[in-house]
Amino acid sequence: MAHDLAGPPLPVPRGPLSEAVRAYLEDAGPLPAAEAAASVSPYGDDLQLALYLCYELHYRGFAGVSPDREWDPALLRVRAALEDRFLTALRADTPVHASLDDALAEILVEPVEGTGVSHFLAAEGEAWQLREYAAQRSLYHLKEADPHAWVLPRLWGRAKAAMAAVEFDEYGGGRAERVHARLFADLMEDLGLDTGYGRYLDATCAQALAVVNMMSLFGLHRSLRGALVGHFAAVEITSSPGSRRLAQAMRRADAGPAAVHFYDEHVEADAVHEQVVRHEVIAGLLEEEPHLAADIAFGVDATGMLEDRLGERLLAAWRSGGSSLRIPLPERETVRAS
């Protein structure tokens, strides 16, 4: 996996908000008015890309953009307006369960006849669709666990210890070659994809950006620590069965050993993580802060809502024979050297 310390290049704008934020990052123009966020779709390309540009400054940044922009007061004011638009929509549009127990109970039971993306890929997915899926997911998986690490300083006691234990596994248990982001880069190499960090940002659809942005939104705000824990629980609880199907899809398509290994690893690891998150992270957090139960349920349900939106986008494109990406992939790309 290539490590570009300068960060990836800035993406092509998708509307006036993202165009103005990009220009500001390049010292080439003013920021948009904060009020402009109220007039665009909260889930659309323009707002989601503008928000992603703001959030990525807290991770690896962008080539040619000063690291000082991370805490630029004017940019933070615009980011707050974008966040408010996005979070308000999430709260309005997410069907939230009446209780946390109900929210968790629903995702703990696999439907008899599943219809999601992993079911489709396992049963009939073709190699080009697996490549598209990996490209869409790469914006998260090449920084896997990083958005969740933000919550650690906001927890204590049982919840903190258990969350740190799960994150330690996500980061390879101290072994660089086992870091999950590294394993995903190996998967991408097997699929003939460029493993450069942020390489597929221009190609990624708004629905996939929204999933990644939600993680950063929850992680970067202490007031949303319960929602972040709920999101993390939803990911870990649903990961093992979904990963089993995706490993099957990779085997059926003869995608390569690293592609299969990534999902096999998650079948085993996340089955354990699910237990730790439910019985230690959530239980420990509620032991200290029982009032966060509703926020945890919101995090679980908002994750499901955005993942459903992404799944609908992918499946609608694939079932019609079209690409799910904004820019279709070439047949095979030059893979960067490690």
Res 3 pLDDT > 60:
no
Residue 164 neighbours by CB distance under 10 Å: 13
The tens digit of pLDDT for each residue in 186-241 reads 999 999 999 999 999 999 999 999 999 999 999 999 999 999 999 999 999 998 89
Mean pLDDT value across the chain: 94
Res 2 pLDDT > 50:
no
Q: Give the E-state strand segments of 41-159 in sequence order.
A: none
Query: At 335, is the pLDDT very low, low, confident or very high (cuts 50, 70, 90)?
Result: low
pLDDT for res 337: 44
User: How large is the average pLDDT for residues 47-67?
Assistant: 97
The tens digit of pLDDT for each residue in 96-112 reads 999 999 999 999 988 76
pLDDT for res 114: 81
CB neighbour burial string for 287-299, b if at least 16 within 10 angstroms, e if fewer: eebeebbbbbbbb
> 43 Cβ partners below 8 Å, 6+ apart?
86, 89, 206, 207, 210, 309
pLDDT for res 149: 97
The tens digit of pLDDT for each residue in 140-162 reads 999 999 999 999 999 999 999 99
Residue 21 neighbours by CB distance under 10 Å: 26
Residue 246 neighbours by CB distance under 10 Å: 29
pLDDT for res 260: 96
Contact 133, 313 (CB under 8 A): no
Dihedral angle of Cα 250, 252, 254, 259, to the nearest 10 degrees: 10
Percentage of residues in the chain with pLDDT exceeding 90? 89
| Length of the chain, in residues | 338
Return d(Cα 218, Cα 221) in angstroms, integer.
6
